[in-house]
Amino acid sequence: MKFKVAILPGDGIGPEVMDAAVAIMETLAQEYQVALEVSSHLVGGASIDEYDSPLIDDTLQACYDSDAVLLGSIGGPRWEGLPHDKKPERALLGLREALGLYSNLRPAKVYPAMVEASSLKPEFVRDTDLVVVRELTGGIYFGEPRGYDAQQGWNTLIYNREEVERIARVAFDLAGRRRGQVTSVDKANVLESSQFWREVVHEVQGDYPDVTLKDLYVDNATMQLVRQPSQFDVILTQNMFGDILSDAAAMVTGSLGMLPSASLGEHYALYEPVHGSAPDIAGQNMANPLAMIASVGMMFGTTCNLPQAEQILDKAIEITLADGFRTADIVAEQGEPVSTTEMRDRIAESLRRLMEEKRITASPA
């Protein structure tokens, strides 16, 4: 197998966590005989500094020419004074739009060793393993008309049938490979757009008889997510609700530094950590690389169609955490944090050990 990957390290801690993830990516590629053609490009603030634009045509073309895009992080206070359409974050929105990335998958898993790290009680978060499937290119963030004047501001929340059907199928397909449960989150008691959303989702569910469907209003879903997150398997929701719920789900796990994500379209895929650029710790070798590393795992599972590679990497992360290794954002009060590079090395060591055990098990007697 051969795959082209565009690397966009970005800003802040992005280059540091990307370096760690690329090292793990190369180890997995060698193990599963995947030939990777990798190119690296500036994006966000780094691209503004070099090219006076957060996303230049050459970088976008490199993404078009690749099978997958790995993105580190974007933005920082040094670029906050720029006009809205020139800020680093416009690169991310531009990538989503240009690549047609309409579905965002955000897993939120609480590893056994991390149960105590959550701000919720251990008995509430134990066994949490869910995925938020967020519609990414429609809804109130993109609806027209929009604007404001001195007296009022307005936005338009609109979804068409195609947009709802395709994101619903992503959720049902995913649930079919997991525990077979979809929770569709809307506000159908108030919004006509949500009533439409609910009707279309139920129509699509007819093609998935082995997947159960439950409807929740977004306010109740938020309470349930905090009360008992382990009850959820796949959460399906529209753009704005998904933006909020996925961050809430992230904090259930104890740290944004733990969580990967995938943004998928018909032809392209972008993988990135949920966390931001954390400029306050950039360059100090203390950032948590687990979210970026796990994003590489999602790439192997989805783009490369090697779920076994994603699973073995997830197991390596679990073992490393169980062995007590923590970066500063997740370290216990009495513990000593490890650096970004040491966490990378510990994950690599756990991964090599698991791969060796797999080879021994697979060898004929």
Q: What stretches in the chain show pLDDT beneath 50?
A: none
The answer to whether residue 243 is catalytic is yes
- In a shared domain, residues 134 and 229: yes
Residue from 19, 129, 243, 345 carrying the catalytic annotation? 243
| Pair 68, 6: CB distance under 8 Å | yes
Looking at residue 307, its amino acid is P
The answer to whether residue 187 is catalytic is yes
| Pair 323, 315: CB distance under 8 Å | no
Residue 1 counted as domain residue:
yes
pLDDT value of residue 272: 97
- In a shared domain, residues 25 and 128: no
Supply the Cα-derived Rg of the chain in whole angstroms: 20
Residue from 19, 129, 173, 247 carrying the catalytic annotation? 247
Q: CA-CA distance, 298 to 31, in Å (whole number)?
A: 16
- In a shared domain, residues 313 and 239: no
- In a shared domain, residues 238 and 147: yes
pLDDT value of residue 359: 78
- Please spell the DSSP secondary structure of 87-100, one letter per residue: STHHHHHHHHHHHT
Looking at residue 89, its amino acid is E
β-pairing, 103-109 vs 260-264, is: antiparallel
Choose one of 226, 252, 278: the last residue of a domain: 252
Choose one of 252, 273, 298: the last residue of a domain: 252
Cβ neighbours, 10 Å, residue 112: 10
Closest CA relative to residue 347, chosen from 290, 291, 301: 290
pLDDT for 158-191, tens place per residue? 999 999 999 999 999 999 999 999 999 999 999 9
Residue 241 counted as domain residue:
yes
The answer to whether residue 141 is catalytic is yes
Q: Collapse the DSSP code of 341 into the 3-class scheme (helix H, G, I; strand E, B; otherwise coil) and give the result.
A: helix
Pull the structure tokens for residue 243: 């933006």
pLDDT value of residue 201: 98
Residue 37 counted as domain residue:
yes
Sign of CA dihedral 168, 169, 172, 175: negative
In the chain, the largest separation of any two C-alpha atoms, in whole Å, equals 79
Residue from 67, 159, 187, 233 carrying the catalytic annotation? 187
pLDDT value of residue 331: 83
Q: What is the pTM of this model?
A: 0.92
pLDDT value of residue 120: 83
pLDDT value of residue 254: 75
Q: CA-CA distance, 300 to 311, in Å (whole number)?
A: 10
Pull the structure tokens for residue 116: 């105590």
Residue 152 counted as domain residue:
yes
- In a shared domain, residues 208 and 280: no
Residue 112 counted as domain residue:
no
Residue 74 counted as domain residue:
yes
Q: What share of the chain is helix, strand, coil (3-state, %, to 5)?
A: 50, 20, 35
Q: CA-CA distance, 42 to 51, in Å (whole number)?
A: 9
pLDDT value of residue 334: 64
Residue from 49, 207, 219, 280 carrying the catalytic annotation? 219
CATH number for the domain that contains residue 176: 3.40.718.10
- In a shared domain, residues 87 and 137: no
Residue 214 counted as domain residue:
yes
- CA angle 254/16/113 to nearest 5° reads 25
Residue 114 counted as domain residue:
no
- In a shared domain, residues 209 and 311: no
Q: Collapse the DSSP code of 73 into the 3-class scheme (helix H, G, I; strand E, B; otherwise coil) and give the result.
A: strand
Residue from 4, 51, 129, 141 carrying the catalytic annotation? 141
- In a shared domain, residues 232 and 260: no
Choose one of 252, 276, 305: the last residue of a domain: 252
- In a shared domain, residues 158 and 228: yes
- In a shared domain, residues 236 and 278: no
| Pair 212, 239: CB distance under 8 Å | no
Closest CA relative to residue 351, chosen from 322, 325, 327, 318: 318
**Per the structure, how many domains does the chain have?**
2
Q: Give the dihedral of Cα atoms 358, 360, 363, 365; nearest 10 deg.
A: -140
pLDDT value of residue 249: 87
- In a shared domain, residues 269 and 247: no
Q: Collapse the DSSP code of 260 into the 3-class scheme (helix H, G, I; strand E, B; otherwise coil) and give the result.
A: strand
- In a shared domain, residues 126 and 237: yes
Domain that holds residue 334: 1-107+255-365
